[in-house]
Amino acid sequence: MKRRALIAANWKMHKTSSEAKTFVASLAPRLTQIKDRDVLLCPPFPLIFHVDEARKDTNILLGAQNMYFEEKGAFTGEVSPIMLRDLHCEFVILGHSERRWVFGESDESINKKALAAVNSNLIPVLCVGEKLEEREKNQTEHVILNQLDKGMSGIPESAVSSLVVAYEPVWAIGTGKNASTADAKNAIVLIREFVHSKFGNALAEKIRILYGGSVKPENMKSYMDQEGIDGALIGGASLDVDSFFKMVSY
Ligand code: 13P
């Protein structure tokens, strides 16, 4: 089954509002010819409003990079799913390795976030991936399956079909050391098999699975040529609009 490709930019903690607006103004007219894939921008929280304004009348999709799982309350510094919906976000990245390993997020809290996102009609982009030492100890499959099992626990079948999973090996993020296409493909096959075993074939065929980790214009097509890789989650190389557009139009 042919799934619609999804090319997603994770801007992490980069850009000011004027830089974000300039980026979208430059990207949007170039996207008018590209109708067969989805393009998602995930700016930091303070830029979401500006990107939403700038993307009006375009097909650009909007997502956040994180959120808290409660709807509201005394949670200083946090942002709720309702707030993200209010800003017209459609997606939210959850369980990014920087959230897991820099900010200490657990599988349990990521799962609570995924359930809260789905409850608020946000589509989670659930990130999974092994660290270098885990890969060296041959624990890659175990780590990925464990993160999926815990992260997706309790997600209703109705939400699984639109869910996005991103395989992002931690050692490949921001290092310039991208995973080989074979490694990326193997991990993505494993993820789809997991979804198959838990939710059945129809949902396994629908769910979109992305690769992320040092994706650049030069290697984008080699990933997209792999059966089962439905798109990319791109950090550093998504910050420059020319570079990002090259990857969108791989
Ligand atoms: P880089 O593309 O900078 O390696 O980052 C990948 C990533 O973490 C996307 O979420």
Q: Give the list of residues 6+ apart from residue 117 with CB closer than 8 angstroms, or none.
A: 67, 81, 92, 94, 123, 124
Q: What domains does the chain contain, in order, with CATH numbers?
A: 5-248 (3.20.20.70)
Structure tokens at 56: 């009006």
pLDDT digits (tens, 9 = 90+) for 211-237: 999 999 999 999 999 999 999 999 999
Check residue 60 and report its DSSP letter: -
CB of 33 closer than 8 Å to CB of 63: no
Is 196 one of the catalytic residues? no
Active-site annotation holder among 98, 105, 134, 168: 168
**Looking at residues 184-188, what average pLDDT do you find?**
97
pLDDT in tens, 112-138: 999 999 999 999 999 999 999 999 999
Q: In angstroms, what is the span from residue 155 Cα to ligand 1's centroid? A: 26
Write out pLDDT tens, residues 193-212. Answer: 999 999 999 999 999 999 99
From the CA of 176, give the closest atom in ligand 1: 4
Residue nearest to atom 2 of ligand 1 (CA): 235
**Which residue minimizes the CA distance to atom 7 of ligand 1?**
235
Decide: 47 and 55 in contact? Cβ < 8 Å.
no
pLDDT, average across residues 151-166? 96
pLDDT at 140 over 70: yes
- The pair of structure tokens assigned to 58 is 């375009």
Task: Point out the ligand 1 atom lying closest to the alpha carbon of residue 214.
Answer: 4
Annotate 156-206 with three-state secondary structure.
CHHHHCCCEEEECCHHHCCCCCCCCHHHHHHHHHHHHHHHHHHHCHHHHHH
Residue indicated by tokens 């989650």: 233
Q: How many CA atoms lie within 13 A of 78 on its CB side?
A: 14
**How many angstroms separate the alpha carbon of residue 235 from the centre of ligand 1?**
4
Q: What band does 1 get if pLDDT is binned at 50, 70 and 90? A: low
Q: What is the mean pLDDT of residues 28-54?
A: 97
Q: Which of 50, 96, 105, 134 is catalytic?
A: 96
Q: Catalytic residue at 168?
A: yes
Q: Which atom of ligand 1 is nearest to the CA of 97?
A: 8
Give the binding-site residues of ligand 1, using a 6 Å CB cut-off.
10, 96, 168, 173-174, 212-215, 233-237
Per cent of the chain over pLDDT 70 is 100
Q: How far apart are the first and last CA of the chain?
A: 20
Q: Phi/psi of residue 75, each to 5°?
A: -130, 75
* Tens of pLDDT, residues 55-85: 999 999 999 999 999 999 999 999 999 999 9
CA of 154 to the centre of ligand 1 (A): 28
Atom of ligand 1 nearest to the CA of 96: 10
How far lies 31's CA from each of 39, 92, 240, 242, 245, in Å?
9, 22, 15, 12, 8
Ligand 1: distance of its center to the CA of 211 in Å? 10
Q: How far apart are CA 156 and CA 149, in angstroms?
A: 13
Span from the CA of 200 to the centroid of ligand 1 (angstroms): 30
- Position 178 scores a pLDDT of 87
Q: Pinpoint the alpha helices (H) of 32-106.
A: 45-54, 81-86, 97-101
Of 94, 127, 168, 243, the residue with max ligand 1 atoms within 8 A of its CB, to mutate for a pocket test, comes to: 168
